[in-house]
Amino acid sequence: MAARRVSSLLSRTLSSSLPLSLRKGSSCGRGLSRFSSTASAIEDPIIPNVDIKHTKLLINGQFVDAASGKTFPTYDPRTGNVITHVAEGDAEDINRAVAAARKAFDEGPWPKMTAYERARIILRFADLVEQHSEELAALETWDNGKPFQQASKSELPLFVRLFHYYAGWADKIHGLTVPADGPYHVQTLHEPIGVAGQIIPWNFPLIMFAWKVGPALACGNTIVLKTAEQTPLTALYVGKLFHEAGLPPGVLNIVSGFGPTAGAALAGHMDVDKIAFTGSTETGKAILELAAKSNLKPATLELGGKSPFIVCDDADVDKAVELAHFALFFNQGQCCCAGSRTYVHERVYDEFVEKATQRAKRRTVGDPFKSGIEQGPQIDTEQFEKVLRYIKSGSESTAKLECGGQRFGSRGLFIQPTVFSNVQDDMLIAQDEIFGPVQSILKFKELDDVVRRANTTQYGLAAGVFTNNLNTANTLSRALRAGTVWVNCFDVFDAAIPFGGYKMSGIGREKGVYSLSNYLQVKAVVTPLKNPAWL
């Protein structure tokens, strides 16, 4: 899901539906705007009355200031106002956090306690999250800009489900007995890998926390997690809940900071045994290089995508339009696996374009705390301006701008839902990961041709297929070079379904049983048998 543009390692980059406690009320002081001075405020933004309790670094079970004493602001992307200031961790803080995690792994109870007791702590944590879910959803929306209904009704329940899933795995991790040639008893042990460094992105802060932390803890590891600088608040909140659930000090450490300082220090640390990262492909390469140059630590990388969504000629066009719309515009288009190349068969192309354009025009954009809003703001100025540059590129090409193409409103990081038709494969909007609400619709005629075109990309994260023909579905599912292929659905993220990419979309898989191997080592134990005659 990944996705994305986590803090770069190389450059700094529903009123009536809310519970009463989260409706407009007092807030943290309004700070300096990070947007143009020509912008005017969105009308009457809803400010949740949420008590922001945790803004320091979480190291060895305690919230502490950064060693430098520095803080940085985290912003409300609807208005540009400062929500609060958060401790800014750097290399020294990473050293402190890794030392705590190392001691907790080598000397502490977590890897030594029974798997059943680890599972009970994870389950108690999930229960605490459920008790605080509305407040967490409000914090996620405030810090990230995603619709409150999405955060509260979809993402928080999935967050809890993911930890229930991994708690269930904790006492089911075991090795094998292996037959050997000769009088030997051979067994394998699956052991925790040690200190896991984890770097999560801003587009799904809580969900990415679960994808990383859940399997690592279930396997008995300790963790140093770096949040994205754009969205640090919910990770710190749930970190406190984990300790309330009984997690020993030093097992989960959380450092908020920037890529060139905290991120690079974590990826290259000699005492970190494994690194996991979700973000851009460019930054993933830098992470891999740092991991290799330090101690050759293994890396799990969930990176960029440019996923095809293929609408075949037998499709119910109305249903295909709605699913393709969701596949692209979900989460403001800020989704690593977004169906951003919409391939439509020539027989239904014109009808599809007309209906997709009308659907995009009906999409509701505005304050994500308001009822009925489908699309909030982009995460920050950098992302906002990048999306507009790609729209400009599309407009200057031979593609046809069907709707959108401009900012929405006069303040905040809102972009009109944008649809291009007549898009060609060599255009930037068809090649690059835009990570915004921009749908590119391409025409195809033959199945073999669309497979070739869909696979002609550096990415291979996901794909979508819309057809009523079983043979077509089976053919495309096997022919498309992607880690996930959704047939007549999209963005199904069940806890048990593995997720990851082919080619430059990453290394390894997250979620499901396959994610456990990221945090385990296999040890072979060989013992001679004294009475081989009994074999």
Residues 272 and 314 in one domain: no
Helices (H), 333-413: 349-362, 381-395
In a domain, 496, yes or no: no
Residue 533 falls inside a structural domain: no
361 shares its domain with 274: no
Residue 83 gets which letter from DSSP? Answer: E
pLDDT band for position 42 (cuts 50, 70, 90): low
pLDDT of residue 169: 97
Alpha helices in 363-469 (DSSP H): 381-395, 428-431, 447-455
User: For 471-505, how does the pLDDT look when each residue is reduced to its tens digit (9 = 90+)?
Assistant: 999 999 999 999 999 999 999 999 999 999 999 99
Pair 147, 296 in one domain: yes
- Output the pLDDT for position 20: 31
Catalytic member of 302, 402, 433, 510: 302
Per annotation, catalytic residue among 336, 337, 374, 433: 336
Residues 138 and 281 in one domain: yes
Specify the CATH number for the domain of residue 385.
Answer: 3.40.309.10
The verdict on residue 47 lying in a domain is no
* pLDDT computed for residue 16 by the predictor: 33
pLDDT of 535: 55
- What mean pLDDT do residues 514-526 have? 97
Q: Are 307 and 462 in contact (CB under 8 A)?
A: yes
Name which of 532, 499, 507 is nearest 2 in CA terms: 499
**Whole-number pLDDT of residue 18:** 38
Confirm if 428 and 400 have CB atoms less than 8 A apart: no
- pLDDT band for position 333 (cuts 50, 70, 90): very high
Residues 246 and 163 in one domain: yes
pLDDT of residue 144: 97
Sign of CA pseudo-dihedral 93, 94, 96, 100: positive
Please tell me whether residues 71 and 202 are part of one structural domain: yes
CATH code assigned at 173: 3.40.605.10
Are 281 and 304 in contact by the 8 Å Cβ rule? The answer is yes
User: Do 93 and 159 sit in the same domain of this protein?
Assistant: yes
Confirm whether 140 is a catalytic residue. no
Task: Specify the range with the lowest mean pLDDT, choosing from 36-45, 54-63, 334-343, 442-451.
Answer: 36-45
Containing domain of residue 267, as a range?
A: 15-36+63-302
Answer with the one of 302, 330, 363 that is the final residue of a domain.
302
Residue ending a domain, choose from 270, 302, 334: 302
Q: Which residues of 449-467 are buried (b: 16+ CB within 10 A; e: fewer)?
A: ebbebbbebebbbbbbbbb
Write down the pLDDT at residue 86.
98
Residue listed under structure tokens 């909140």? 237
Asked if 322 and 208 sit in the same domain, the reply is no
| Mean pLDDT, the chain, integer | 91
pLDDT for 5 equals 36
Is residue 499 in some structural domain?
A: no
Residue 505 lies in a domain: no
Instruction: Kindly state whether residue 512 falls inside one of the protein's structural domains.
Output: no
Residues with Cβ within 8 Å of residue 396, at least 6 apart in sequence: none
| Identity of the residue numbered 155 | E
User: Binning pLDDT at 50, 70 and 90, where does residue 7 land?
Assistant: very low
List, for residues 256-272, the tens digit of each pLDDT value: 999 999 999 999 999 99
Lowest mean pLDDT across 34-38, 168-172, 196-200, 205-209? 34-38
pLDDT in tens, 228-267: 999 999 999 999 999 999 999 999 999 999 999 999 999 9
Report the distance separating Cα 253 and Cα 248, nearest Å: 11
Q: Are residues 467 and 322 in the same domain?
A: yes
User: With pLDDT > 70 as the criterion, what percentage of the chain qualifies?
Assistant: 91
409 is a domain residue: yes
One domain, residues 372 and 438? yes
pLDDT of residue 175: 95
Mean pLDDT for the stretch of residues 119-147: 97
Q: How many angstroms separate the CA atoms of 413 and 411, rounded? A: 7
d(CA 468, CA 309): 15
Contacts of 47 (CB under 8 A, 6+ apart): 24, 25, 26, 27, 142
Domain count, the chain: 2
Radius of gyration, alpha carbons of the chain:
24
Q: What average pLDDT does the segment 67-71 reach?
A: 98
- Please say which residue of 451, 470, 487 terminates a domain: 487
Residues 106 and 210 in one domain: yes
What is this structure's pTM? Answer: 0.91
**Residues 121, 244 within the same domain:** yes
- Amino acid identity, residue 244? E
In 3D space, the residue among 448, 384, 394, 463 whose CA is nearest the CA of residue 422 turns out to be: 394
Helix axes 133-144 and 205-218, enclosed angle (nearest 10): 120
State yes or no: is 336 an active-site residue.
yes
Tell me if 41 is assigned to some domain. no
